[in-house]
Amino acid sequence: MYYNSILDTIGNTPLVKLNKVAKEFEGTILAKVEYFNPGQSVKDRIGLKMIEDAEEQGLIEPGGTIIEGTSGNTGMGLALAATIKGYDCIFTTTDKQSKSKIDLLRALGAEVKICPTDVEPDDPQSYYSVAKRLSKEIPNSYYPNQYDNPSNTQAHYETTGPEIWEQTEGNVTHYVAGMGTGGTVSGTSKYLKEQNADIKTIGVDSEGSVYKHYFETGEFDKDEIHPYLTEGIGEDIIPENMDFDLLDEVVQVNDKNAFQMTRKLAKKEGLFVGGSCGAAVYGALEYARNNDFGEDDVMVIILPDSGTRYVSKIYNDEWMDKHGFLDSSE
């Protein structure tokens, strides 16, 4: 047996039981390990889906250019698909993203433009604005806009949700995912709740993001926004893909707790993952502690990406110490 291209290996990622970091719980806590995708992240799913849907709708023609604002992983998914399908790529990202992510995008032939983090989303220098401007200036270009593109949510409705349902044999009771563009948490939740309306969906947000306050009050409060270092989750906008009606609770996690859990997952579970994965697990365990999570419950947590993106940051003792994130035992 063989695959016709690397794109055929996307999806069907494994569920792995968390043992040591979740030993206090009687219920089953499972991680869906998305670094088994060829681009080592959950975003491979939407990269392929957005391009395929754009081709079907005639939004891009052969030899065209894909332009997207990304924290790195969506760019990787798009770049993989573009490499196979023959498109060029230009990505905009923020200066808080790890150098490893940027180097990986360039290794796949993409052009990467670095934009400042600490500007308003509608500022001409923001990575959102620069991507939009370039898509208007460059002929035969396609701007997927993962934040508002329904193909993002649909990819998870069609793949991630059914995989979790089948892998748990319909026994999943809790679903946990980080809240970034909204596609992963919303699309998967929609599918799972259609199978069993009692399944609880817990979104994990980063301190400094607007999501938790918006979920609880329905109000967009700019005062909630402040800089944070966890990549890939939290927002200073409300994307169209974020469907708050599909969430049961939102847990907010700070950088220190996220990064310490990330390192624990590597040292105690052998899961070499990224910072948003640590945030998701920390938030999931906090939820389980504060709610009725019993021996018959089965929780599935999405671990979005690989630790290879963060060797110079989260897995670097000097960087962690500089920011005051090292655990006292370290």
Sign of CA dihedral 18, 22, 23, 29: negative
Cα–Cα nearest to 87, from 58, 101, 67: 67
Instruction: Show the tokens assigned to 24.
Output: 């206090």
Q: What pLDDT, in 10s, does the model give residues 280-321?
A: 999 999 999 999 899 999 999 999 999 998 999 999 999 999
Annotate 262-298 with three-state secondary structure.
HHHHHHHHCCCECHHHHHHHHHHHHHHHHCCCCCCCE
Among residues 17, 20, 32, 43, the one annotated as catalytic is 43
Domains and CATH numbers, the chain: 6-36+159-322 (3.40.50.1100), 43-142 (3.40.50.1100)
Q: What is the pLDDT of residue 330?
A: 63
Do the strands 174-178 and 141-142 form a parallel or antiparallel pair, or are they unpaired? unpaired
Q: Which residues of the chain have pLDDT under 50?
A: none
Helix orientation angle between 73-85 and 43-56, rounded to the nearest 10 degrees: 50
43 is catalytic: yes
- Measure the CA–CA gap between 184 and 157, rounded to whole angstroms: 8
What backbone torsions phi and psi does residue 99 show, to the nearest 5 degrees? -60, -30
- Measure the CA–CA gap between 202 and 297, rounded to whole angstroms: 14
Tell me the whole-structure pTM to 2 decimals: 0.94
- Measure the CA–CA gap between 106 and 209, rounded to whole angstroms: 29
Sign of CA dihedral 98, 84, 41, 271: negative
Q: What pLDDT, in 10s, does the model give residues 8-27?
A: 999 999 999 999 999 999 99
